[in-house]
Structures are given as C-alpha cells and as structure tokens.
Amino acid sequence: MTERTGRLRVLHLVGSPTSPQMAELSLLYAADCLAATHDPEHHEVLVAHVSPDGSWRFPADLAPATVAAAPALGLDEALSRLRTEAPDVAVPQMFCFAGMTTYRALLDLLGIPFVGNAPDVMALTAHKARAKAVVAAAGVRVPAGEVLAPAERPTVGLPAVVKPVDADNSSGVTLVREASEWDVALAAAREHGRDVLLEEYVELGREVRCGVLEVDGELVGLPLEEYAVDRDTKPVRDASDKLRRDPTEDGEGSLALVAKTEEHAWIVDPADPLTARVHRAAYAAHRALGCRDYSLFDFRVDAHGEPWFLEAGLYCSYATTSVVAVMAAAAGTPLPDLFRAGLDQALARGAHR
C-alpha cells in the first residue's frame, strides 16, 4: 500500500485499448484537465494510461515522451499496481466504447468511486436508437426513424439523416434528399458500424447542446451551446465540424478540436426563451436514462422553436475545452470548483457502498 500523504489521491484513467485516434483524443483532453485542475496542496495525481495494444502504463505526466518511457504492464500487473496505489477517486478520460463501459466497470469492480455516469448508462447512450427510445418514452420529442441491418432497405420518408447507430463525432453522417442517394449514404455510415440509424430530417431551426448538473440532489440546467448550422449550406453537422488534423513536422498531423472555435459554437443568452424549453426536455432525458453527476444532450430545434432530442454524449473530461466545463464557466462556476464538486459526489457514493 502506498504511504498516504493526507491529500486526495485522484486517478485519471486515460487512453484507449481499441483506437489510436480515441487514445489521442483522450490524451488531448486529459492533459488539459491535469493542467487546469492542478492543485498539489489538496490532490495527489495518479495517471493510468491504456494503449491500443491493451498494455497499461503509469507515467508521471502525459507528455508523449513520458508516456512512451513508462514500463508497459499487462492487466494483472496493472490491477496489482492500482490496488497498491489505492486511489481515493477516479476521473475516466476514455472515449472509446470499451473505455466508457468495460473500464468504468473495472473501476467499480476495484471499488474505486469515479466521477460521471455508470457503465450501463454509457452503454445505453452509445446506441443512439436505444437512447432515443428511452427518452421518447419519457415524453421528449425524438425524430421518427428506424435501424437498418446490412440486408435491409430504408422505409422512412425523405429527407432523412443517415448515421451509424453507435459511432461518435458525427462520423458517417449524411443528409439524404433523393432516393438515388441512399446507397452512398448507407455505405458511408457502414464504414463506422454494422447497423445504421435513419431519422426523419427536422428542418432548421437551430441546433443546440444542453448540459445538466446534479447539485445537492437537484438538476440544474447550464447555458446552452449553439452550433453553426444553416438550412442551405450546413443543414447537418458532420465529422468536419468536430475534429481535424493540423500539419506537423513529422507529417502525421496532430488532432485538433474544430467545434471549440467561436465560428462553430457559442453560448446562448440564458434569457433566450429556447433555454427553458430545452432544459425541460434535458431534465426528462437525464432522469429517464439514469444519468448522474452531469449529462449532455444534443437537440435539433425546429422552425417553431420546439426541441427534438438527437443523442446523448455523457462526457466531461474537466478540461478547459470540455463542453460541460465551458457551460458551467458561463454560468459562473469556475472549472476547479466544478471539478471538486464532481470528486465530492463520487466520494460520497463510494462512502455509501
């Protein structure tokens, strides 16, 4: 057992066991989080990094050279290391499906309380059609749609949005207006997953994201974030609106976050009448899906100002660029305060096991 220092020992679980891009995205957010929440007087930080080959490392920081130099451990050795380190609380920073589910369940198995949503909730919301069904049953508007297996053909009306049922970052998303476009759109979606979700297109409107916090047992809606969409030139957001690769000297390029720039997204004035309508829908979605600590939802707003639930993205990395953190800051809650509140709620859950 590692000698206790009196400080809270916080584990940041980083990387991806399945995807190099998701591992890189995890490092991008987690490094920002470590810098933004640095509090050596109160927190002792432990980093556990999982590589796409499944190996674990425990680097002193997230500099690429430091990560690469840390000894690679198998699962048995990594679990032994985690038991020895005995972290008080964990912050999951993994964005691939396994990271959101299996590795959060591993924290549960080890008895390490963690900030954010439980693995079963993450599994549910990773499948867009299942999440929509649960939210619709709670009375929230969702676009009509269907899920197609590989041999099936569309029956929804046009125009329609085609997307992988379980992929992130708008990968493989296409707006289909003519029947002749189905095959290309379905093929693009199936590059990212077996089954495809088809949704009736909700005419703009607007498109917003809504964050919800749990504060003392009550749900608190955060200021909305609105995205740059246009009926003619940008009717739906696609992968180019989320991530890009900037040139680097080695030619590989570095991952960058497109959606964080002001021309792509901005905070909505809380006095906007849309805010209250979206908050009501978001609270219903949060409760129906069984979320905890925080939640984050995308809504399409039709021409009459009515919000339609699109999907849940239940992540908060506590980085300065993390959407929930940006929204909370706009509401007057600095990132360090938001981070401490998340740790406190996770610790309280652990104390009541």
Q: What is the mean pLDDT of residues 317-329?
A: 96
CB of 148 closer than 8 Å to CB of 186? yes
Q: What is the mean pLDDT of residues 78-92?
A: 97
- Report the candidate in 206, 209, 207 with the shortest Cα–Cα distance to residue 224: 209
CB of 120 closer than 8 Å to CB of 104? no
Which pLDDT belongs to residue 97? 95
CB of 201 closer than 8 Å to CB of 227? no
Return the percentage of the chain with pLDDT > 90, whole number: 84
How much is the mean pLDDT over the chain?
Answer: 92
- Report the candidate in 1, 309, 293, 328 with the shortest Cα–Cα distance to residue 143: 309
Which pLDDT belongs to residue 30? 97
| pLDDT 10s digits, 223-243 | 999 999 888 888 887 766 554
* φ, ψ for residue 286, nearest 5 deg: -55, -50
Q: What is the mean pLDDT of residues 238-263?
A: 58
Say yes or no to pLDDT of 96 above 70. yes
* Lowest mean per-residue pLDDT among 70-79, 193-202, 260-269, 289-298: 260-269
Three state DSSP letters for the chain: CCCCCCCEEEEEEEECCCCHHHHHHHHHHHHHHHHHCCCCCCEEEEEEEECCCCCEECCCCCCHHHHHHCCCECHHHHHHHHHHHCCCEEEEECCCHHHHCHHHHHHHHHCCCECCCCHHHHHHHHCHHHHHHHHHHCCCCCCCEEEECCCCCCCCCCCEEEEECCCCCCCCCEEECCHHHHHHHHHHHHCCCCCEEEEECCCCCEEEEEEEEEECCEEEECCCEEECCECCCECCCCHHHCEEEECCCCCCCEEEEHHHCCCCEEECCCCCHHHHHHHHHHHHHHHHHCCECEEEEEEEECCCCCEEEEEECCCCCCCCCCHHHHHHHHCCCCHHHHHHHHHHHHHHHHHCC
- Which residue type sits at 240? S
pTM given for the model: 0.90
In the chain, what are the domains? Answer: 8-115 (3.40.50.20), 123-141+204-351 (3.30.470.20), 145-200 (3.30.1490.20)
Q: What is the mean pLDDT of residues 103-115?
A: 97
Terminal-residue alpha carbon distance, the chain: 22
Which pLDDT belongs to residue 257? 58
Say yes or no to pLDDT of 8 above 90. yes
Say yes or no to pLDDT of 244 above 70. no
* Better pLDDT: 117 or 255: 117
Q: Which residues pair with 92 in a beta bridge?
A: 13
Which pLDDT belongs to residue 245? 47
